[in-house]
Chain A
Amino acid sequence: MATNTQIPAADRRVPVIAPGYTFSSIGEKISNIVLSRPVSLGWIVGFVIVFSMMNMLMIALGYLFIKGTGIWGINIPIGWGFAIVNFVWWIGIGHAGTLISAILCLLRQTWRNSINRFAEAMTLFAVACAGIFPLAHTGRPWLAYWLFPYPNTMRYWPNFRSPLVWDVFAVSTYFTISLVFWFVGLIPDFATMRDRAESTLVQRIYGLLAMGWRGSVRHWHRYETAYLLLAGLATPLVLSVHTVVSFDFAVGIVPGWHTTIFPPYFVAGAIYSGFAMVLCLAIPIRAIYGLKDFITERHLETSAKVMLATGLIVAYGYGMEAFMGWYSGSQSDSFLLWNRLHGPYRLSYMALLACNILIPQVLWLRKFRVSTGWLWLISFIVLVGMWLERFIIVVVSLSRDFLNSSWGMYYPTKWDWMTFLGTIGMFLTAMWLFVRILPMISIFELRTLLPESQVHEPAEVKQ
């Protein structure tokens, strides 16, 4: 949020930006990470690791394109497997970025100004990773454009009553709008980078991206309107995306999927895992790049609180699923509950309960919310837990449905694991490049947090 960012005078909490900064020193500190900070050995070693992981993805996908989805562990009855588990997991992670940039913008939460840029980057990279899975899962990804409605010689049209087609529209819109929102937010900062760059080449590149931005008041005026409207449009969008993803399940009749609680429960779970990823990234980045003045204890603590709250909504969802399993009196539903607790995947379910419900309860204590080490560990556990949740939903439900004769087990192959770990590599590779190429904190939005940015209009000239 770029306007009306008044900091309450009586706010005794840790400030969102450490004292002593000026407009210039904010720009200098953030842009110098990109413009003048030398590439460290640690960055190179890390990059080699994550880039190798990304290449593992390329190998796994290359072999998949040659052989087909038979190299994965999927088969009837479990036709969805890792591809859908990972798709839902990655999409969910993306949600925190849009929540931070759009919803917190509308709610005028000024603390978001220092984490929205890299949270949005995280969204884009996570959605890009997510998109790979359904694409590869179609089996013939080179024909994926068949999912879009376009006049063709087959005289065929997509079935708009199918949740899978809704998904195509929801996810592609989500990616596009996130990208636009991110880029619009970057334009004034590109101008700052252009004016601070020393070498002509760097100046030209950022100048090209800034498109001649000169900070005219007329431009700012339209810019702020456009940004606010984008936030307003992205807010229902982010809530709709995981709702539509949950329809992929809820519209089906499989036990454990066919429930009305799925949309809100999926959205809460998405924000839960997304904030966990934000913390997993923010904690090391602020330490390595010396950004503790901008990403303060306050940010970590607030994010931890959001995580705790959304985690409780997720816990309510689990409770409701169990309650409905009993209350519905449906044999399939009560069997599903029994199967989760005592079936072959019971260990995953126990781990899920521990990771998502039990362990994060320590966040009620302030000590754990402000200790970076603990917070990082808990966030990581939540990420594992949310992955397990998608595994339970996809695999356990499909493994034992209505007919005993069609029961089966799912065992991921090495190609499944390579694809999954490979997308983590791709995500981290993008992150690795992002922190060195773009200003990872919004410079102009941080400047509006300084008291000097507030103007008092003289009464006599007020119209």
Chain B
Amino acid sequence: MTDSMKDSSIYGLMAEFDSAQELVDAAHKTHEAGYQKIDAYSPFPIEGLAEAIGFHKNSVPLVVLIGGLIGGISAYALQYWVAVITYPVNVGGRPYHSWPSFIIVTFELTILFGGLSAAVGMLILNGLPMPYHPVFNVPEFAKASDDKFFLVVFSSDPNYDAVRTRAFLNGLAPRMVAEVPS
């Protein structure tokens, strides 16, 4: 395949399907045919679809773990610093480092930081907010949040070829295949 066959004004080719099952089957076949840069779109999460397009990497749990640890450690450190170092209050000779009292705030801030990292981390890893995206240029794509299922092969895929990829997608028995202008 030569570079001249690639058109930078084209984002990819989009195929529309009627059911979740058809989309998963089509995604499997497309991935098996050697296409790497593909994506699938559905109105609700579909079990096994991520594996079908070969997407395995998910860093959200790590982000949440790090966020939660930062929250917990900084909460305990702050309380220790306040109660022992900078503002010690002597209550009848009781120890300054009264750790059981510090557990609750440590717990709460672990949850707070963990929860916020889950939400913010998910959005950032997903590249959201994203006000413009080429897939919305296809009018039928409005149904992607309703009851239709879409598969896109990006033009950046090394195997992408305007003619052959279209023929391949047509072979998957979609409702339609459309070019996605970028």
Q: Identify the A interface with B (CB < 8 A).
A: 2-4, 22-24, 27, 149, 155-161, 165-166, 169-170, 173, 176-177, 180-181, 183-184, 188, 191-192, 194-196, 211-226, 229-230, 233-234, 236-237, 240, 244, 247, 444-445, 447-448, 452-458, 461, 463
B112 touches A177 (CB 8 A): yes
A444 and B82 contact, Cβ closer than 8 Å, known pairs A165-B105, A188-B145:
no
Q: Identify the B interface with A (CB < 8 A).
A: 19-21, 24-25, 27-29, 32, 39-53, 55, 58, 60-61, 64, 68, 78-79, 82-83, 86-87, 89, 91, 98, 101-102, 104-105, 107-109, 111-112, 114-116, 118-119, 121-123, 125-126, 128-133, 135-136, 141-147
What secondary structure prevails in chain B residues at the interface with A? helix
B19 touches A211 (CB 8 A): no
A176 touches B112 (CB 8 A): yes
B126 touches A223 (CB 8 A): yes
Q: Closest Cβ of chain A: how far from B99's Cβ, in Å?
A: 11
A217 and B78 contact, Cβ closer than 8 Å, known pairs A226-B118, A463-B51:
no
Name 10 extra pairs, CB < 8 A, besides A194-B145, A221-B58, A222-B126.
A3-B45, A27-B146, A156-B87, A195-B145, A211-B128, A217-B40, A221-B50, A222-B122, A230-B119, A234-B115
Residue among B48, B61, B83 making CB contact with A229, cutoff 8 Å:
B61
Report Cα–Cα, A456/B115, bound state, in Å: 33
Could you say which residues of chain A place their CB within 8 Å of the CB of B109?
169, 173
Report Cα–Cα, A230/B131, bound state, in Å: 25
B146 touches A196 (CB 8 A): yes
A226 touches B121 (CB 8 A): yes
Q: Closest Cβ of chain A: how far from B123's Cβ, in Å?
A: 7
What secondary structure prevails in chain A residues at the interface with B? helix
Q: Closest Cβ of chain B: how far from A166's Cβ, in Å?
A: 4
A195 touches B119 (CB 8 A): no
Q: Closest Cβ of chain B: how far from A425's Cβ, in Å?
A: 30
B144 touches A229 (CB 8 A): no
Report Cα–Cα, A407/B159, bound state, in Å: 86
Residue among B25, B45, B91 making CB contact with A448, cutoff 8 Å:
B45
| Closest chain A residue, CB of each to CB of B100 | A161
Residue from A170, A217, A444 with most neighbouring chain B CB atoms (10 Å):
A217
Could you say which residues of chain A place their CB within 8 Å of the CB of B42?
215, 217, 220
A214 touches B144 (CB 8 A): yes
| Closest chain A residue, CB of each to CB of B142 | A195
B83 touches A161 (CB 8 A): yes
